Structure 1
Amino acid sequence: MHRSVLPLVRQTLGKHPAMMGVASAATGFMRQMSIKPFTPANRRREFQLKDRVESLHACRTQIFKEKGVGELPTIVVGGFVPDATEQVEFQRPLFREYGSVYYLNYPRHGFSLEMFFAQLADLIEYLNARRQRPVLFGVSFGCGLIAQFLKESANDPNLKIRGVALASPVLCTADLIRPEGEKAGGVRMLESNLKRILKSAAEGSEGVERQIERARRCFQALFETGAANRALTGRHLSIRKKIMHVIETTPADGGYQRVLALQQLDGPRDGEAVFTGPTLALLAEAEDNLLVPTSPTLSLLRDPERRRHLFPRLSFWKVTSPEPDDAVAHASLIFHHHCYNPLIRSWYHKLQAPQLFAVI
């Protein structure tokens, strides 16, 4: 559809809720047709763990695949919410230009770092067997999972990765929660919720349930704040419906286990490389509205010399909006895709270029 026609279409749909509902349903149906459940042929690491976890169903990540046209696949690891399949809704066409896309949706009823890493390693090995080296694309909390995975699998010769992309990286708990007593700059909404969740364990299951319910309202508010004063298309509304469904239907124990997984992440260390291959790091201009002032990840990435030790082949960008009253928020890939996508596309293009020359 020509760009000049889009505003008229949006205005028309906005005046007719029934038509917007139909457009939203159609969008959801088309996504369902293209994004399908996927299981790697070889799951040896996962099977080795199945008897060591309390419940395989509760902690097993769901993997989905969307077919692309190139030989550079992308594995998407999302934040706390939404699911990976929704997190990069407006980056999907871009990824498909380079290869198939694999989405890792976290389990609803639990979480296990060990199982997640096993499934991710099995998927990478599956792609390597087909002579493909994937890009690991992380968002927020997902960046921390990727960084920890890279540390723990650094000596595994069976895993070959083409590159790593990190959007609004959260690499450890200290990025979101300050030490007790430090309140300079005010307490962030997510920081307050995470503190309450971690302390609620002493109150038993009822305390955890109560604090997770508060966190649900927090994530809903964060999304609605991003959506405020915007012309939402049927595509936006379809994604909004899915995001709210995930927030509302993830049980307390599942949410709590994700927070505990964040606690287990080591975080960045000065002088210690996380990944020596091509890396893209994208910091939103308004990261400080969510991440705390003492965030070690922000401190490292904002220092050219220190971030070079962390990622020797790093392409670093601050993602900004052309609109002065619409600053890019933390991990705002849905509402500010027009700010993120040119940077992502440029990095993917350079990443693919050596492969093209090798073929010639």
Structure 2
Amino acid sequence: MRGWVVGESNAAATRLCQRLVRGEPGPSPVLLWGPSGVGKTQLLKGVADGYRARKKRVLAITAEQFLRGFVEAARGGGFPSFRQKYQGVDLLQIDDVQLLLGKARTLEELRQTIDSLIEAGAQIVLTADRGPNELRELGPEISSRLAGGLSVEVAMPNVEMRQQLALDAAERIDLQLSKEAARALACRLIGGGREISGAINRMALLHETFDTPLDQRLATKVADETNRLSTPPVRMSDIQRAVCGVFGVDSKTLRSDKRTKSVTEPRMLAMFLARKLTGNPWSEIGEFFGRRSHSTVIAAHRRVETLLASDEPTRLVAGELGETIRRVEAALRSA
């Protein structure tokens, strides 16, 4: 797949899809799950292209298309033609299957479709923005089929992968981006491949229009602008809840006067994210996180910025700093 970057977050899913492309026997159905922007749809396309290259019949649809087709068939009595569409396919792909949650009749039709295709030896690949435990409303029958196949997470890329994605995106548009600027963007930007590609396009436009240097300063500016435009509004209580979940501390402890590393690190990160994601005044953030002074919040914010700008990875009690921030942001998006 052109432009595909393999790393720890997608290595297992990539290996599985490569096996499917080669026609090796594998589990069916397969569920690829993870947040938006991590490349699930690109993996689907790669598998579909591989099947077509081997002259296999492929049907690639979205869950919305499956639902719309089912509803039209139910209203017009056209179930024979609806079901015939799925007969004889070698590969069925359904994107965003979580959109079918709670739609009992449609799910029963999907179960029958899955069963008939598996019996015929077809490969089924589904995607969702959440894992099997959060897809139980698909019903026990489909959940059982998923348990009998294989579910693989496609997680958010880590800093190294994001840096490479930025460099690749820049290369595709002939933009001379340094590794330092790419790293600054990777450390700062919220999101996955789509957001990185969009940020690179914006950097290119600013560079061309204003002759702005393609340096770390521009990368940081563009990342912050992109984050403000793409991140839904959050409250400080949301940030507190997400940070506590990632670090395994309770909110009372986070806002206490304890100064152990297991408390000061999540508190520092929570104050940094509160400023970054809400833009609230320093004093308001300090008041929320245990009546701390505005200077304490400023110091925490600067500390995290300094650590993110460093070439050396910073380890926190919950893991590497940049990866920990992305875990918190992922928790905020799924809240």
* TM-score category (smaller protein): under 0.3
Tell me which protein shows more helix as a share of its residues. Answer: 2
Question: Which structure would you say has the larger Rg?
Answer: 2
TM-score (norm 2): 0.25
Which one scores higher on RCO, CA 8 angstroms, separation ≥ 6? 1
TM-score (norm 1): 0.24
